[in-house]
Structure 1
Amino acid sequence: MNLALYLALEEALKGLVEDPSIRAIVLTGSGRAFCAGADLEAHGRGALTHEERRIYIEAGQRVQRLLQTLPKPVVAAVNGAAVGAGLEMALACDLVVVAREAKLRFPELSLGTFFGGGTTYTVVRRVGLTRAKELLMLGEFFTGEDAAAMGLANRAVPSDGVLETATALADELARKAPLSMKFAKRLLDQARHLDAESALALEVDALLRCMASRDWQEGIRAFKEKRPPSFVGE
């Protein structure tokens, strides 16, 4: 990962949000790896100023937050190795499909650097503090199968089936009502910060807005007519 790639991803994600014809997103890598992490060669040259490093870190964090907060579901198709910043990015997605034999690792503490994409928050949320400390402090390699077993990933499949599985999940997500999906993603991500009363209040607001939508009426008609609904996002 480098600044140019983060900026390109940021621009692409914003474009996908603004396109109403796109209702779910699959994020994957090209070649044998999903993402090998930060460009260590560039960092090792020490040519960046303090301010340039800050710009790089903040660009990466904007991409992380976009993946987490954009109103459309994102499925990570981890087709191969995912290390450091690359693994951070996968875990910012809503669902994660990973190759069983993929090698995954958080190497930051072994390199004298630190996490910058919310890893200390995201990993604890997914697997709990005890397992998170093991993964982040030891920085050992683990497999995609391990990731699914501990709750870091939703599916571990053979490498040649990763993109197909992720795409099938995205297709299923895309068939849901867009407004309902937006509220589900938002409230689920907020859940750990809310008490029960606050969560109930937010659900009431979301439910009322959905019940006032055209898609709610379409959902009722489709159910009665025993056909798939055709949602428009309104």
Structure 2
Amino acid sequence: MSTPTTPTTPTTPAPPVVRTERIGSTLLITLDRPEARNAVNAAVAAELAAALDTLEADPALRAGVLTGAGGTFSAGMDLKAALRGESPEIEGRGFGGLTEAEPGKPLIAAVEGFALGGGFELALACDLVVAAEDARFGLPEVGRGLIAAGGGVIRLPQRIPYHLAMELLLTGEPADGRRAGDLGLANRVTGRGGAVEEALRLAERVAENAPLALAAVKQVVRAADGAPDAEAFAFQRTLMKSLMASDDVREGMTAFAERRPPRWTGR
């Protein structure tokens, strides 16, 4: 006699917590946990890392825009998930799969609402920042016995004057979007709800330029950070040799001579 089997209930896959949308040559990446103010748990970190891989792998995509759903950029680390043992980091890529990564393509943060703790650190890991005037940038970790270890303590003094960075780091008090613009933390400041639209415009402007040159700019800037000038120039010379041999340099010069827009191939 056969043993009856218990029917299994099919499991429904969890909905994505990071959404992507291709808009022209830009990949719009949206953290999508509005009920948790887009706090970063293990799933967000994994899906954000995957979205960045998509951006890097597709030659038709020239830039990325990172934002959050529901009027909030990100409240940082999901503390409830952390207490359950989840890690918001990806090995070799840091918090959210981004803060220690080195994306080759330009990445723009479009910040609405809160960008606190790790959320602020995600914005600091981007190349450009567009902020709504009511955005709130803050690193409150010292009030919890911690430090902003996802790049905040390291990057913030590199972005703005030492004493201003230390005020934000030592008090934990946030700065709004207008203050972020005054400090030089935000490239553009918009009205409420306008950050993504402005960031997409900025991304398309960046994407008009040669992709190899854009990647080279990022590489040189990273290599020159804290390096002696001689080392930085030596690294730059190596990249320049590669660029000068590329099809895109010839195309850029030809397009200039013919008074037409260049047609980049990334080769």
RMSD (Å), alpha carbons = 1.7
2:50 corresponding residue in structure 1: 11
| Structure-2-length-normalised TM-score | 0.80
1:202 corresponding residue in structure 2: 235
Deviations 1:91-144 (A, max 9, x none): 100000001111221111112233231111110100132222110110012101
Amino acid at match of 1:64: T
Whole-Å Cα distance in 1 between the matches of residues 180 and 195 of structure 2? 14
Amino acid at match of 1:36: A
The one of 184, 201, 223 equivalent to 1:190 is 223
Is 1:61–1:116's contact at 8 Å kept on the other side of the alignment? Answer: no
The one of 99, 108, 131 equivalent to 1:64 is 99
| Offset of residue 40 of structure 1 | 2.4
SS at match of 1:63: coil
The one of 200, 225, 231 equivalent to 1:167 is 200
Q: Confirm or deny that 1:95 pairs with 2:131.
A: no
Unaligned runs of 5+ in 1: none
Whole-Å Cα distance in 2 between the matches of residues 155 and 42 of structure 1? 33
Whole-Å Cα distance in 2 between the matches of residues 21 and 183 of structure 1? 18
| Offset of residue 183 of structure 1 | 0.8
Q: Which has the larger radius of gyration?
A: 2
Is 1:57–1:116's contact at 8 Å kept on the other side of the alignment? Answer: no
2:190 corresponding residue in structure 1: 157
| Structure-1-length-normalised TM-score | 0.90
Q: Which structure dedicates a bigger proportion of its chain to helix?
A: 1
Is 1:61–1:117's contact at 8 Å kept on the other side of the alignment? Answer: no
Q: Confirm or deny that 1:225 pairs with 2:258.
A: yes
1:25 corresponding residue in structure 2: 64
Q: Which structure dedicates a bigger proportion of its chain to strand?
A: 2
Whole-Å Cα distance in 1 between the matches of residues 52 and 116 of structure 2? 22
Is 1:144–1:156's contact at 8 Å kept on the other side of the alignment? Answer: yes
Amino acid at match of 2:58: D
| Offset of residue 57 of structure 1 | 7.1
Q: Confirm or deny that 1:124 pairs with 2:157.
A: yes
1:112 corresponding residue in structure 2: 145
Amino acid at match of 2:109: A
Identity value in percent: 39
Identify if the C-alpha distance between structure 1 residues 106 and 227 changes in structure 2 by more than 3 Å, giving closer, same or farther. same
Unaligned runs of 5+ in 2: 1-39
Query: What count of residue pairs does the alignment treat as equivalent?
Result: 226
Whole-Å Cα distance in 2 between the matches of residues 5 and 47 of structure 1? 15
Is 2:45–2:96's contact at 8 Å kept on the other side of the alignment? Answer: no
